[in-house]
Amino acid sequence: MRRLWYYYLYLLIVWGSFRYFVRLPDVIEELWFKPLIWLVPLFWWGLSLSTKLVMFGKDLFRSVVWGVFVGALYFGLIRRFNFNGEIGNLDMMGVALATAVTEELTFSGFVAGYLEKIQKGKWINFLIVGLMVAVIRLPILLFVYGLGLVDLVGVIFFAGASGIINAWIRIRTGNVTGSILARLGMNLAVLG
């Protein structure tokens, strides 16, 4: 479990510093730097595990159905309050997809799977994932978007709740594809 907290601390420090000091277009940050900073350490960590985590193993169909349903729900809830953006922008669609893949492979795929392997069937696993998903948003919310307290609390709560739901989809189906699709629906609504 200690290794998980080291990795998360690494993410907070490195990704938070990157968000604070580096100002590149979102397309470059999300398509190039985020997967490199987030997934390369996980890849090496995954290689060192005695029993490998299977992220794309079991019930693909059920995972996709849950992912599309929850993604549509996220999209509907978010777009209900914000109809100003356009969804057809290819750059933003790429950012939405890259972010969904990177963050869901990290949190729903690896972290939720790792926690489930350590302590199977514990509800605290979902809360840990939700908290991690919420807190990792702080650097971008504070340093890039400069949100005020009320908006910050709302976004943190929604991010944590979506992290719990997406981790549940992954653990329930044994496949992270649904979590990625659900997150993609949320990202398209937010970025579009």
Percent of the chain with pLDDT over 70: 95
174, 91 contact by CB (below 8 A): no
pLDDT on residue 36: 94
User: In 147-177, which positions are buried (b, 16+ CB within 10 angstroms) versus exposed (e)?
Assistant: beeeebeebbebbbebbbbbbbbbbebbbbb
Flag whether pLDDT at 40 surpasses 70: yes
pLDDT on residue 90: 80
The whole domain housing 54 covers: 2-191
Q: What is the mean pLDDT of the chain?
A: 89
Flag whether pLDDT at 81 surpasses 70: no
Quote the pTM value. Answer: 0.90
Please give the single-letter amino acid code of residue 179.
Answer: S
C-alpha distances (whole Å) from 160 to each of 59, 83, 131 are: 25, 23, 6
pLDDT band at 86, cuts 50/70/90?
Answer: low
CA gap 76, 70 in Å, rounded: 10
pLDDT on residue 80: 80
CA gap 124, 191 in Å, rounded: 30
Flag whether pLDDT at 109 surpasses 60: yes
Q: Using alpha carbons, select from 168, 177, 170, 161 the residue that is nearest to residue 74.
A: 161
- The number of folded domains in the chain is 1
Q: Which conformational region is residue 146 in: left (phi greater than 0), alpha (psi within -120 to 50 degrees), or beta?
A: left
Flag whether pLDDT at 169 surpasses 90: yes
Q: Using alpha carbons, select from 17, 14, 3, 184 the residue that is nearest to residue 104.
A: 184
pLDDT on residue 126: 96
Residue with tokens 């969904």: 100
pLDDT on residue 84: 58
Flag whether pLDDT at 85 surpasses 60: no
169, 57 contact by CB (below 8 A): no
pLDDT band at 176, cuts 50/70/90?
Answer: very high
164, 130 contact by CB (below 8 A): yes
